[in-house]
Every structure is written in C-alpha cells, then in structure tokens.
Amino acid sequence: MAKTAGATKMAYYFGKTKTEGKSTQKQLLGGKGANLADMTSIGLPVPPGFTITTEVCGLYYQHKQKLPPGLMDEVRKNVGILEKETGKKFGDSKSPLLVSVRSGAAASMPGMMNTILNLGLNDEAVVGLANATQNERFAYDSYRRLINMFGDVVSGVDHEHFEVAFDKIKAKYKAKLDNEVPLEGMIELCEAYKDIYKKHFGKPFPQDPLEQLEASIEAVFKSWMQPRAVKYRQVENITGLMGTAVNVQSMVFGNMGDDCGTGVAFTRNPSTGENKFYGEFLVNAQGEDVVAGIRTPLPVAEMPKWNKAIHKALLEIKDLLEKHYKDVQDIEFTIERGVLFMLQTRNGKRTGAAAVKIACDMVKEKLIDEKTAVQRIPAGDLTQLLLPSFTPAAKAAAKKDGKLLTVGLPASPGAAVGKLAFTAAEAVERTHAGEKVLLVRKETNPEDIDGMHLAAGILTSTGGMTSHAAVVARGWGRCCVAGAGEVQIDEKGRKIKVGGKTFTHNDVLSIDGSTGEVMVGEIATQEPKLSGDFATVMGWADKYRTLKVRTNADTPADAKRAREFGAEGIGLCRTEHMFFEGDRIVAMRAMILADNLEDRKKALKNLLPLQRKDFVGLFTAMKGLPVTIRLLDPPLHEFLPHDAKAQGELAKELNVSPAFVKNRVAQLHEQNPMLGHRGCRLAVTYPEILETQVTAIVEAAIACVEKKIDAQVEIMIPLVGTAAELKMLRDQTQAVIDAVKEAKKFTGKLNILIGTMIEIPRAALTADQIGEQADFFSFGTNDLTQMTFGFSRDDINTFLPDYINNELLAQDPFQSLDVTGVGQLVEMGVTKGRSVKKGLKCGICGEHGGDPASIKFCHTVGLDYVSCSPFRVPIARLAAAQAALATAK
Ligand code: ADP
Ligand code: MG
Ligand code: MG
C-alpha cells in the first residue's frame, strides 16, 4: 500500500491550540505519541508538541532512506504553531524554544534510541536561555549536553571523546562531580565539545535549529532498523509495524535547581501488583538520569518531605489515569520550578504475579469486569507463577550458614541459580553449551538482550527498580536482582568481589528476585501451588472456556501434578518413555534384539507386568478422567546402544555374542527412521507388541474397576495413514480386549475407546474413511508439521534460524502451529471425521497444545480439547478462555 507523500498527513499536533491525535491511533502515532495526545485531551499538564507518524518512517524506507518530500514543510508549520503557543522562538536570543526528539513505535521498545534533549540550542540561543532563566550555568550545561547527545546519537561521534574532554575540565577546576564544574568550565566545555564534534564528524555542529531537527528526525527513523532494534523485535516477536513515530516536544527542565526534579512511576507495584503508587524521583535532574542510574533516586513515598503539593497532584493524576485507561500506567514526569508536567504514560509492564493480582483487584474495585480481567493477563506470563522459588527451609539454612552475601533490589521475582557470566555473549555461549548462568553486569543495556534472555537470572550492581535490567527482566519473567551496590564487578578478570570475598566465573550463586537476596552456592527450589488470586483467575477462565484441557503425562507423578493444575485427563501417554526406567530397558532391548517370535514373546512377557503396574498408577491418579495411551511409536533402533562398548555390555547381560548385538543393530538401522519402521507399522510387523501392550492396558483397567476406580481408557494407534491400517489394528485390539475379559472372566463394564492419531497428511486427507474406524482423533501436530513442511524436526536447527531471520517464516512452526498450512489439515481432519461420525471426539496432543496462539486456533476449528505438558495446563486454561471470549464478540 504505497501512499504518495503529498496525500498523507504527516504530523499531528498536541497542545492547547489543538490536539489532533487520539489514544486509538497507536499504530499511526506510536504508543508514546497517541498517549501524549490523549493526556493533553483529558486536561493533564503535557508540554505541547507534535508527532510525526509511523507512516512517514515507512515512506523513509520506501524512499531509499530519504525523508519524504513535504515532510519538512509540515514540520516547519507545526514548529510555527508550537512557537506561537509557547511564546518562544527556535534559536531566539531572548526566549528560545527548545524541544526533545523522541522515538516511539506502536509497541514499546525501551531504550532503542536515545532521546535528544535541549534541541534548538546554538551559540545565540544559549545566551537567550541564560537570560530567560537567569541561570547561565544551567544554559551552558544544557548546551553541552545537546552537543554530546546530538553528536553521539545523530552524527556518530563516540561518546568517549566527550567524556575525555569533560574529565580534563573537571581536573582543571578540581571538580569531582559534574555539577561541581563552575560556569567558566561549562563555557569552555561547550567550545571543546564543538571542536570534538567538528574534528570527528568533519563538519561543525549545526547552528540552525531546523537543521538539527531534520537530522534528528532522520536519526530516529534510522534507529528503527539498527541491529539491536531488529533483534529486540525478533526476541519479543513484534511484527507487522510500519516503523517508529517521532515525537517533537517542547522541553521542560527538571534540572534548574532544587525546586525541580524528574521521575518515573507505576500506578501500582509492577512486581507484586500491590495497589500502591510506586516509583522513584531525583531532585534537580533531567529525564534520563533516573533510568541511567547515575545517582540513586528516592522512592516517591519520600516526596512529601520535598514537595507535598506535587506529591498530592501526582496521586490525583495516578487515579485519573487508572480510571481513564482502566489499567496500570507507567508514567514519566518532570517538575520545573515547582510545576508538574507529564511526559509519558503507557500500560505498565508487569510480572505474571502482578498481572494476576492487578486483574483480581481491579475486578473488586469495579474498574473492569471478569471477562476483561481474563483477557488482560497474557496467558504465557503465567509461566512465572509456575516457576520455582527457593524452599524456605533451604534458604533459612543457607542464611544461617552465612551464605547471604548481600541484598539488592527485588527487581523481578523468581529463584535463579547459576555460575557467573560477565557479558551477554558469554551468557549466550555458556547457556548453549548447557550451563546455567547468571548474567552479572554493572547495568544492562539494549545490546545485552540476547544474553539476558538466555541467562537463568540477572544480577546488576547499579540501577534501580526501573533500570533497563529490571524492566526487561520483568517483561520476560526472568529473575533479576538489580542495584546490588556491594557487588564489585571485574569484567575483564571475570570475577566479583562481595563483602571481602571473591567469586569467579566458575562459582555458583543463588539469587532471589522476590527479595533481592544474593547467596553463595546452590539453594534448593520448590514448585509453586495454585491458590489465592491465581485460583480465582483460573475459576473465571473455566467459566468462559469451552475447550477442555488435558495433559501429556507418562508417570503417575506428572499426572497428579497436572491434575492439581486442573488437567481434565491425559491426552497423551507415551508408553515408550516407560521403557527407559531402570532395568526395563534391558527387557525392552531383549525384545527388540530377538530374531525369532519365541524369544520376542518371552521378552514381552517380562515387560507386561511392568506396563500393567504403570497403567494402574495412571488410571488411579486420573480416576474419573480419560487417559489416552498411545501404543509404541518410535523406531526400535532408538532403544539400542550404538557404541561398541555399550553393545558389548548388553551382549553380556543378554548372554549373546557381541557380534550378534552388532549385527542386529546394523539390521535395524534405517536411513530415515522418522519416516521408517515406527508407529502402527511396528504393530503391523510385530502384532505381539500390540497384543502385549493392549493386554497390559486391559488388565490394568479390570484391576481398577475391581477396586472401584473409574478408569476411562482411550487406546490410541499412532502414525496411521490409511483406513485399512487402522481397521486391521483396531480389530486386533478389540480381539485382545475380548480375550483378556474372557481369560479374566470379567463380565463388568469397561470404558475403552479405540482411536487414532492424525499426524500423517494422508490421514487428514482421508479422515472420512479413517473416521469410520476411530472412536476419536488426536492431532499429533509435531509429526503433522514435520511431514507437511518436510522439515525434520530434529534437524531444523541448521536452517530454521535463517528462515526466521529472513522472515521466510514468522515463527518456528514447531512452537506455534502454522495455521495457514498445517492448520488446514487439522480443520479438514475434523470436518471429514465428523462428516461420518457426528460429534467425533477430537483433540490435539502436539507441543502446540500449550501455545496460546495455537490454542486459539484449536478453539476456532472446534476441537474438544488440547493436551499439553503439566505445567502449561493453567496457561492453556486461560488461553482457552481468552479464545472463547475473543471469538464470542
Ligand atoms: P524512552 O523511550 O527511552 O523512555 P523518552 O523519549 O521517554 O525515552 O525520553 C527519555 C527521557 O527524557 C525521559 O526521562 C523523558 O521524560 C525525558 N524527556 C523527553 N522529552 C522531554 C521534554 N520535552 N522535556 C523534559 N524531559 C523530556
Ligand atoms: Mg526512546
Ligand atoms: Mg520514556
């Protein structure tokens, strides 16, 4: 949809004169721009300005990175309105207009481009600013900040050069801190900075404010495609945006004296959800100083001591914003000479725990209703509530042993244990190598995100609760302790020093993101429970969902855990997992290696009682709920040892020659085992395997019924591609059921269904024929995806990253169901199956069963249930409710 530049409105003004944007225009104005307009509209004190649309950013890239024609005319027009409204003029020697230039896309991408403040200053305007404010030092301080920021962000002059010059001036005036440099020093510094700028950029620092503005706008657009922004969108799965907007806003100053200040706050605690105004502020400071962690800010609760009226005004604004947006807000504010200004508001990022509490509280406060509450909690974020915490006993013992090193800020809850990694790259590398690491940094920045993403936890020594590390970690539910000031980090030496002790990259620490505690060694963790607000939310979810949620479980313990999390049955029990335990594998291997029927039957006889016991355990744990048992699925080769040594040991155990083992293993080798002798094909070749498994199942079911345990059994035949296959195996299964009943003289009622997995494209295509033979369908979307794409799921690592990087695929189809392609087969399977059997029970048992987007699809095509790993069950329940509510509208 290429638009011609002339036809597009490129800038939207906000201020007293007029406000053109609306809160609903986030796509066009970015989140920051839309809300600046919105806050202006509801009468909040917002410094006026205008927003250049995200469309213009799109045009910029269409025009081979040139600002589209007509843009600067619109910019000049808006600057004109701004000058009139503020009574100030760009570059004026009496009362100069200064602006900030801020990026802001529809989705929040914290810190992707540094904001440029004080734009509009030049050699003349700086005198004007000094006169207007009666504060010469402040004026030159502002000017040197602009040259530095503009030089760094717009013209690519390394910040280091400016630092060196600053240190020289500080030395000259014997100043330790920036703010001890006197006026003369600041004037000299501005000259030095201009020289540095010219030397490294090749041209002098632009004196024309409009030229500064044009270059800054372009820099914002450029920042959209810089590698770290691209990477951030990738990690966060942000797609489909036009670009970033640019906000040009008149400056207010928090750094003009002790009646000034700046701060950031959340209307409620974003970490716990507690309904308490939560934030930090710094007296006599400018915007970024709080986030950058230059000085340690004060909590807003201390503000009344400094300025009671401002604190009161802020609390009023907080209430007003929550009533208006009906959600937690994350705000930025600045106080200029005792007057409060709002600079930003957006929905506050919060932890999963906070999301749950806030949703429940807001329902109680009648701000939102249950349905909104259910829809507001990102289902995937519940993972955080299902994360382990340190066992109180283990932690108490560790503390008694003097293992507590220090306490930082509880920036993002959870418990993390790991060795120390000192750079993001190191964290990435060591995690991939299978280690658990904590990323230890002075403070993180956007370039660290991949390391932060992979690390088990994050520990920083500076920075507050709203520092980069804290905000990003909370967004991901990564455990983070921030601002642990006693931790001295030696990045080069790969060690830290705390309380006189030194720890290297090989030492293990435990950090508690809920308390800020940093401890030596590995402390035991525990699984969470479903209670309180979490249980309330689950109750609401159950009220609105229609999809059932089952679990994939192979052991009674997993089944029990899943049941506690609300699972309504087992959707997939992979019987092969049972064979790896203890000495069962020996019996299994004996069965596989048997080269004649008799030996195989003998081995199977040994396996039968073990399987029966497993099934009794499962049916008991899930009594009253359906349990789907899949018959043996993987290629037999997978169960065998492959190196000579292990083969030799096996030969000894089975009392056969090593050569025999070696030959059988070689015989069983397949070129493409995933497409080879596996699934129902095993049962076709070795009916005795099916016979043994079904016998174990039926005997277990009978044993349960006799103990008055309600066993609801679903026998599932995997990898079926034709109706004939299923018919034959179904008949065999039924025959075994009858035979066992007969042998046991059992005359009671057994609940046993015989169904199949739909995981081969041909099965979906012929689901009407297959449906005639099946009591139920379960979509095995792992294999279905593998076979539909022709992507070997064990080998995708070699090429899938390139597919994602080149946007050939929006996401990994094994994580989130490919609705467009694989989804068609699922839909076809359901429709065709139900065309021959009305109401045929259909579910999904692939990994996708726990993915919120895939669950939405499952709801839409009318599946009866999804099945996922135990700890994703609550996520699936919530996602199912969200799907139902979203489609009910
Ligand atoms: P980010 O997206 O990284 O938060 P912002 O654009 O919000 O960047 O700006 C960075 C800092 O500069 C913030 O603290 C903000 O409050 C401050 N700031 C931005 N514009 C102005 C302005 N017009 N006057 C005063 N401070 C500003
Ligand atoms: Mg920004
Ligand atoms: Mg901001």
Identify which has the larger pLDDT, 8 or 124.
124
Residue 505 resides in a domain: yes
Ligand-binding site membership of 31 (annotated): no
Strand ranges in 442-591 using DSSP code E only, listed in sequence order = 457-460, 479-482, 488-490, 495-498, 501-504, 508-512, 517-520, 525-526, 548-552, 570-574
Residue 614 resides in a domain: no
User: Do residues 135 and 237 both lie within one domain?
Assistant: yes
Q: How far away, in angstroms, is 826 Cα from ligand 1 center?
A: 49
Which atom of ligand 1 is least distant from the CA of 289?
A: 14
Confidence of residue 292 (pLDDT cuts 50, 70, 90): low
For the cut 90, the answer to whether the pLDDT of residue 179 exceeds it is: no
For the cut 90, the answer to whether the pLDDT of residue 518 exceeds it is: yes
Ligand 1 atom 13: residue of nearest CA: 287
CB of 343 sitting under 6 A from ligand 1: yes
Closest by Cα among 448, 426, 450 to 437 = 426
Q: Which two tokens stand for residue 632?
A: 């043996």
pLDDT digits (tens, 9 = 90+) for 615-662: 999 999 999 999 999 999 988 888 888 888 889 988 998 899 999 999
For the cut 90, the answer to whether the pLDDT of residue 473 exceeds it is: no
User: Do residues 38 and 175 both lie within one domain?
Assistant: yes
Q: In the block, which residue shows the tokens 């041209």?
A: 203
| pLDDT above 90 as % of the chain | 77
Bridge partners of 498, per DSSP, are: 501
For the cut 90, the answer to whether the pLDDT of residue 188 exceeds it is: yes
Query: Which three-class secondary structure state does DSSP give residue 250?
Result: strand
For the cut 70, the answer to whether the pLDDT of residue 291 exceeds it is: no
For the cut 80, the answer to whether the pLDDT of residue 191 exceeds it is: yes
Closest by Cα among 710, 602, 583 to 650 = 583
CB of 466 sitting under 6 A from ligand 1: no
Q: Which ligand is nearest to the CA of 116?
A: 1
Query: 414 near 525, Cβ under 8 Å?
Result: no
Which atom of ligand 1 is least distant from the CA of 108?
A: 2
Q: Which two tokens stand for residue 689?
A: 């395997």
Query: Which three-class secondary structure state does DSSP give residue 867?
Result: strand
CB of 288 sitting under 6 A from ligand 1: yes
Distance of CA 316 to the CA centre of its chain: 33
Q: Which CATH number goes with the domain that contains 342?
A: 3.30.470.20
Which atom of ligand 1 is least distant from the CA of 264?
A: 14
Active-site choice (845, 848, 859, 868):
845
Ligand-binding site membership of 780 (annotated): yes
Ligand 1 atom 22: residue of nearest CA: 251
Q: Give the pLDDT confidence score for residue 587 in this predicted structure.
A: 87
Q: Give the pLDDT confidence score for residue 475 in this predicted structure.
A: 63
| 200-210 mean pLDDT | 97
Ligand-binding site membership of 513 (annotated): no
Ligand-binding site membership of 258 (annotated): no
Confidence of residue 7 (pLDDT cuts 50, 70, 90): low
Q: How far away, in angstroms, is 115 Cα from ligand 3 center?
A: 9
CB of 384 sitting under 6 A from ligand 1: no
pLDDT digits (tens, 9 = 90+) for 731-776: 999 999 999 999 999 999 999 999 999 999 999 999 999 999 999 9
For the cut 50, the answer to whether the pLDDT of residue 811 exceeds it is: yes
Q: Is 85 exposed, middle or buried (0-12, 13-18, 19+ CB in 10 A)?
A: middle
Name the CA dihedral angle for 871, 874, 878, 884, rounded to a multiple of 10 degrees. 90
Q: How far away, in angstroms, is 334 Cα from ligand 2 center?
A: 16
Ligand 1 atom 1: residue of nearest CA: 111
Query: 125 near 91, Cβ under 8 Å?
Result: yes
The one-character DSSP state at 177 is: S
Ligand 1 atom 20: residue of nearest CA: 100
Which atom of ligand 1 is least distant from the CA of 290?
A: 14
Q: Which two tokens stand for residue 610?
A: 């073990």
Residue 880 resides in a domain: yes
Ligand 1 atom 24: residue of nearest CA: 251
Confidence of residue 2 (pLDDT cuts 50, 70, 90): very low
Q: Which CATH number goes with the domain that contains 439?
A: 3.50.30.10
CB of 252 sitting under 6 A from ligand 1: yes
Query: 421 near 437, Cβ under 8 Å?
Result: yes
Name the CA dihedral angle for 233, 237, 238, 239, rounded to a multiple of 10 degrees. 110
Other CB atoms within a 10 A radius of the CB of residue 117 amount to 23
Query: 841 near 751, Cβ under 8 Å?
Result: no
Q: Give the pLDDT confidence score for residue 5 in this predicted structure.
A: 45
Q: Give the pLDDT confidence score for residue 294 in this predicted structure.
A: 62
Q: How far away, in angstroms, is 380 Cα from ligand 3 center?
A: 26
Q: Give the pLDDT confidence score for residue 204 in this predicted structure.
A: 97
| pLDDT above 70 as % of the chain | 98
| 238-242 mean pLDDT | 88
Q: Give the pLDDT confidence score for residue 40 in this predicted structure.
A: 98
Query: 829 near 763, Cβ under 8 Å?
Result: yes
CB of 332 sitting under 6 A from ligand 1: yes
Q: How far apart are CA 424 and CA 327, in angstroms?
A: 33
Question: Which of 51, 52, 86, 117 is the pocket-test mutation for ligand 1 (most atoms within 8 Å of CB)?
Answer: 117
Residue 658 resides in a domain: no
Query: Which three-class secondary structure state does DSSP give residue 482?
Result: strand
Query: Which three-class secondary structure state does DSSP give residue 402?
Result: coil
User: Do residues 129 and 278 both lie within one domain?
Assistant: no
User: Do residues 249 and 285 both lie within one domain?
Assistant: no
Dihedral sign of CA atoms 113, 115, 119, 122 in order: negative
User: Do residues 826 and 795 both lie within one domain?
Assistant: yes
Asked which of 238, 253, 268 is the last residue of a domain, the reply is 253
Q: Give the pLDDT confidence score for residue 3 in this predicted structure.
A: 46
Q: Which two tokens stand for residue 873?
A: 């069950």
Closest by Cα among 213, 146, 870 to 571 = 870
Q: How far away, in angstroms, is 8 Cα from ligand 1 center?
A: 27
Q: Which ligand is nearest to the CA of 244?
A: 2
Do the strands 415-421 and 437-441 form a parallel or antiparallel pair, or are they unpaired?
Answer: parallel
Q: Which ligand is nearest to the CA of 103?
A: 2
Q: Which CATH number goes with the domain that contains 715?
A: 3.20.20.60
Amino acid, single-letter form, for residue 751: N
Q: Supply the range of the domain harboring residue 284.
A: 254-350
For the cut 80, the answer to whether the pLDDT of residue 303 exceeds it is: yes
Q: How far away, in angstroms, is 334 Cα from ligand 1 center?
A: 9
CB of 334 sitting under 6 A from ligand 1: yes
Q: How far away, in angstroms, is 163 Cα from ligand 1 center?
A: 22
Q: Which two tokens stand for residue 28?
A: 């066009």
Query: 678 near 635, Cβ under 8 Å?
Result: yes
**Concatenated DSSP letters for 519-554?**
EES---EE-----HHHHHHHHHHHHH--SEEEEE-S
Q: Which two tokens stand for residue 813?
A: 């189809």
User: Do residues 884 and 827 both lie within one domain?
Assistant: yes
Residue 867 resides in a domain: yes
Least confident of 384-398, 478-492, 529-543: 384-398
Q: Which ligand is nearest to the CA of 112?
A: 2
Q: Which CATH number goes with the domain that contains 216?
A: 3.30.1490.20
Residue 14 resides in a domain: yes
Number of compact structural domains in the chain:
4
User: Do residues 328 and 402 both lie within one domain?
Assistant: no
CB of 778 sitting under 6 A from ligand 1: no
Query: Which three-class secondary structure state does DSSP give residue 796?
Result: helix
User: Do residues 276 and 233 both lie within one domain?
Assistant: no
Confidence of residue 82 (pLDDT cuts 50, 70, 90): very high
Q: Give the pLDDT confidence score for residue 1 in this predicted structure.
A: 43
Asked which of 292, 320, 350 is the last residue of a domain, the reply is 350
Q: How far away, in angstroms, is 752 Cα from ligand 3 center?
A: 60
For the cut 80, the answer to whether the pLDDT of residue 710 exceeds it is: yes
Query: 51 near 11, Cβ under 8 Å?
Result: yes
Ligand-binding site membership of 457 (annotated): no
Closest by Cα among 400, 399, 506, 485 to 443 = 485
Residue 376 resides in a domain: no
Q: How far away, in angstroms, is 224 Cα from ligand 2 center?
A: 11
Q: How far apart are CA 183 and CA 481, in angstroms?
A: 39
Least confident of 122-136, 698-712, 791-805: 791-805
Q: Give the pLDDT confidence score for residue 889 in this predicted structure.
A: 66
Q: Under the phi-then-psi rule, with left for phi > 0, alpha for psi from -120 to 50, and beta for the rest, what region is 708?
A: left
Q: Which ligand is nearest to the CA of 101?
A: 1
Q: Which ligand is nearest to the CA of 33?
A: 1
Query: Which three-class secondary structure state does DSSP give residue 587?
Result: helix
- To the query of whether residue 468 is one of the catalytic residues in this protein, the response is yes
User: Do residues 107 and 14 both lie within one domain?
Assistant: yes
CB of 115 sitting under 6 A from ligand 1: yes
Active-site choice (453, 468, 637, 848):
468
User: Do residues 109 and 206 both lie within one domain?
Assistant: yes
Q: How far apart are CA 564 and CA 561, in angstroms?
A: 5
Ligand-binding site membership of 678 (annotated): no
Question: Which of 100, 138, 250, 266 is the pocket-test mutation for ligand 1 (most atoms within 8 Å of CB)?
Answer: 100
**Concatenated DSSP letters for 607-649?**
HHHHHHHHHHHHHHHTTTSEEEEE---S-GGGGS--SHHHHHH
Query: Which three-class secondary structure state does DSSP give residue 343?
Result: strand
Query: 27 near 54, Cβ under 8 Å?
Result: yes
CB of 569 sitting under 6 A from ligand 1: no
User: Do residues 228 and 269 both lie within one domain?
Assistant: no
Query: 219 near 154, Cβ under 8 Å?
Result: yes
Ligand-binding site membership of 648 (annotated): no
| 241-257 mean pLDDT | 94
Query: 412 near 477, Cβ under 8 Å?
Result: yes
Residue 678 resides in a domain: no
Q: What is the mean pLDDT of the chain?
A: 93
Asked which of 208, 226, 253 is the last residue of a domain, the reply is 253
CB of 249 sitting under 6 A from ligand 1: yes
Which atom of ligand 1 is least distant from the CA of 103?
A: 6
Question: Which of 85, 99, 115, 249 is the pocket-test mutation for ligand 1 (most atoms within 8 Å of CB)?
Answer: 115
Ligand 1 atom 15: residue of nearest CA: 287
Do the strands 508-512 and 89-90 form a parallel or antiparallel pair, or are they unpaired?
Answer: unpaired
CB of 251 sitting under 6 A from ligand 1: yes
Q: How far apart are CA 245 and CA 471, in angstroms?
A: 22
Neighbouring residues of 556: CB distance < 8 A, sequence distance ≥ 6: 617, 618, 620, 621
Q: Give the pLDDT confidence score for residue 584 in this predicted structure.
A: 81
Identify which has the larger pLDDT, 544 or 351.
544
User: Do residues 232 and 124 both lie within one domain?
Assistant: yes
pLDDT digits (tens, 9 = 90+) for 375-389: 999 998 888 788 778
Residue 699 CA: distances (Å) to CA of 609, 630, 741:
10, 16, 8
Q: Give the pLDDT confidence score for residue 595 in this predicted structure.
A: 86
Strand ranges in 241-348 using DSSP code E only, listed in sequence order = 245-250, 261-266, 278-283, 298-299, 329-336, 339-347
